[in-house]
Amino acid sequence: MPITITELRLAVVRLPLVHAFETSSHRKNHLDHILVRATATDGARRYVGWGECASPADPFYCGETTGTCWQVLTGHLAPMILGRPWQSTAEAAGMTAKVAGNNFARAGLDMACWDLFAQSRGMPLARLLGPHPAERVEAGVSLGIEAGVDALLAQVDRHVRDGYRRVKLKIRPGWDVEPVRAVRHAFPSVALQVDANGSYPPSDRLRLAEWVDDHDLLMLEQPFAADDLVAHAELARRIATPVCLDEAITSVAVLRCALALRACAIVNVKVSRLGGIGPAKAVHDACRAAGISVWCGGMHEFGVGRAANLAVASLPGFTWPSDLSGSDKYYRADVVTPPIRAQAGMVAVPLALPGIGVTVDEAVVHEHTRRSRTLRAAAYRTEAPEGVPR
């Protein structure tokens, strides 16, 4: 039976962070994400699916923000799908294909559609994505820029004691060699990688090449701007440390270009950055076919997005530890039950329930909601599926 979404409720939910997080561009003490609650039917049965737009609040990581996601969802994506039946997630995604870009906004709706589809089939999302999902995935932690090296070492020590075996450090020009050297000296056996979030100019490639290989790093992630694949390719030829691309990979087409240039040896697959579960799986499949290693990155997702990420990370191509640490690393209280937790650096993939495998605590969502809107299929003209309100 086809699935028809009859109602979408969007809520901007704010959760305070346990510990402030700083990257090369900004510092944050809380996260505002849009939760998408989709009510749908497939005949006599009714389902509720959830998605999450884990976009940044400001246009530093990418051009999208919480505000742009809200506008695109309410003004374009929601009207295109409300009240229109679909029989596969690909068909649902096709209904909004005319909207260019806006992958973070698109990911929230796509995630909700996959949750609905998996529930309608009575399957956990991970088993829908692949017949033999991993039951647990190895998780690492991502640590921001601290006030000083001692503060950073204290954060690394805390998480290593909690059982995490991989640590990712945020770096930028002026905060790179010293903190990396200090962490490697204090924790010689920890799996260590660094992420620049595109903060270095291409002219710094020679300086990077002088020190990166000295610290036994798993990878150097996104040193240059997202659109400068040539600079990444030139650096990759100069260093033995694998170059990983994150912000640069926004589609399978861009991935193919990066591989043709030999701009990376590893890809960070982010559901939000790529526009949803379907596109993330497509990039995973393309990388696996090309013999490229992948891992699952994160955007400090709440439990909804974190559960979806775990399902994606259960696919066989994810061979590196992922940014899927327990939600208690970031939030004192999450929006889902049971809470997502790590044990000895491993996180269980939700496999007990159909769909994304967690239950959303709507009381917690309501408590932390700063803005909400409900859109219903009846409010849109059937002759204009792209949606013009009456």
Per-residue pLDDT of 144-188, as tens digits, reads 999 899 999 999 999 999 889 999 999 999 999 999 999 999 999
In this structure, are 300 and 153 located in the same domain? yes
Residue with tokens 């979408």: 8
In this structure, are 210 and 116 located in the same domain? no
Residue 206 φ then ψ, to 5°: -70, -40
Residue 1: what pLDDT?
84
pLDDT in tens, 181-238: 999 999 999 999 999 999 999 999 999 999 999 999 999 999 999 999 999 999 999 9
Tell me if 159 is assigned to some domain. Answer: yes
Tell me if 384 is assigned to some domain. Answer: no
Q: What average pLDDT does range 132-140 have in this prediction?
A: 94
pLDDT at 39 > cutoff 60:
yes
Tell me if 389 is assigned to some domain. Answer: no
In this structure, are 215 and 316 located in the same domain? yes
In this structure, are 105 and 223 located in the same domain? no
The reported pTM is 0.92
Q: What average pLDDT does range 255-268 have in this prediction?
A: 98
Q: What average pLDDT does range 310-335 have in this prediction?
A: 91
Please check whether residue 351 is in contact with residue 122, taking contact to mean a CB–CB distance below 8 angstroms. no
Residue 24: what pLDDT?
54
In this structure, are 115 and 149 located in the same domain? no
- Which has the minimum average pLDDT: 21-25, 44-48, 102-106, 315-319? 21-25
Structure tokens belonging to residue 279:
């596109």
Tell me if 163 is assigned to some domain. Answer: yes
In this structure, are 73 and 202 located in the same domain? no
Q: What average pLDDT does range 275-304 have in this prediction?
A: 96
Residue 344: what pLDDT?
87
Structure tokens belonging to residue 196:
């620049």
Q: What average pLDDT does range 112-132 have in this prediction?
A: 96
Tell me the Ramachandran region of residue 373: left when phi exceeds 0, alpha when psi lies from -120 to 50, beta otherwise: beta
pLDDT band at residue 60, thresholds of 50, 70 and 90? confident
Length of the chain: 390
At 42 the three-state DSSP class reads coil
- Which comes out higher in pLDDT, residue 389 or 329? 329
Please, which residues have CB within 8 angstroms of residue 17's CB and are 6 or more apart in sequence? 28, 29, 30, 31, 300, 330, 331
In this structure, are 65 and 208 located in the same domain? no
In this structure, are 313 and 231 located in the same domain? yes
Please check whether residue 195 is in contact with residue 170, taking contact to mean a CB–CB distance below 8 angstroms. yes
CA angle, residues 345, 157, 15, in degrees to nearest 5? 70
pLDDT band at residue 388, thresholds of 50, 70 and 90? very low
In this structure, are 150 and 250 located in the same domain? yes
Q: Domain span at residue 21?
A: 4-123+360-379
Tell me if 249 is assigned to some domain. Answer: yes
In this structure, are 12 and 75 located in the same domain? yes
Looking at the chain, which runs of residues are DSSP E strands? 4-22, 27-41, 46-53, 136-138, 141-143, 166-170, 191-195, 220-221, 243-245, 266-269, 293-296, 336-337, 342-343, 346-348, 359-360, 369-376
Q: What is the CATH number of the domain that holds 205?
A: 3.20.20.120
In this structure, are 200 and 52 located in the same domain? no
pLDDT at 287 > cutoff 80:
yes
CA angle, residues 298, 108, 114, in degrees to nearest 5? 100
Q: Which residues pair with 28 in a beta bridge?
A: 21
Tell me if 19 is assigned to some domain. Answer: yes
Residue 390: what pLDDT?
34
Number of domains in the chain: 2
Tell me if 387 is assigned to some domain. Answer: no
In this structure, are 37 and 169 located in the same domain? no
pLDDT in tens, 62-117: 899 999 999 999 999 999 999 999 999 999 999 999 999 999 999 999 999 999 99
Residue 204: what pLDDT?
96
Residue 22: what pLDDT?
63
Q: How many helices (H) and strands (E) does the chain have?
A: 14, 16
Please check whether residue 270 is in contact with residue 280, taking contact to mean a CB–CB distance below 8 angstroms. yes
Q: Which residues pair with 243 in a beta bridge?
A: 220
Distance, in Å, from the CA atom of 202 to the CA atom of 208, rounded to the nearest integer, reads: 10
- Which has the minimum average pLDDT: 85-89, 140-144, 329-333, 379-383? 379-383
Looking at the chain, the whole-number percentage of residues with pLDDT higher than 90 is: 82
Distance, in Å, from the CA atom of 71 to the CA atom of 348, rounded to the nearest integer, reads: 35
Residue 230 φ then ψ, to 5°: -65, -45
Distance, in Å, from the CA atom of 54 to the CA atom of 382, rounded to the nearest integer, reads: 31
Tell me if 333 is assigned to some domain. Answer: yes
Please check whether residue 372 is in contact with residue 3, taking contact to mean a CB–CB distance below 8 angstroms. no
Q: What average pLDDT does range 351-370 have in this prediction?
A: 96
Residue 211: what pLDDT?
97
pLDDT at 273 > cutoff 50:
yes
Residue 25: what pLDDT?
57
Residue 36 φ then ψ, to 5°: -110, 120
CA angle, residues 368, 370, 371, in degrees to nearest 5? 130
Q: What is the CATH number of the domain that holds 117?
A: 3.30.390.10
pLDDT at 385 > cutoff 70:
no
CA dist 169 to 142, 176, 193, 230, 354, Å?
6, 9, 6, 24, 35
When the pLDDT of each residue in the chain is averaged and rounded to a whole number, the result is 93
Q: Give me the active site residues, please.
A: 170, 270
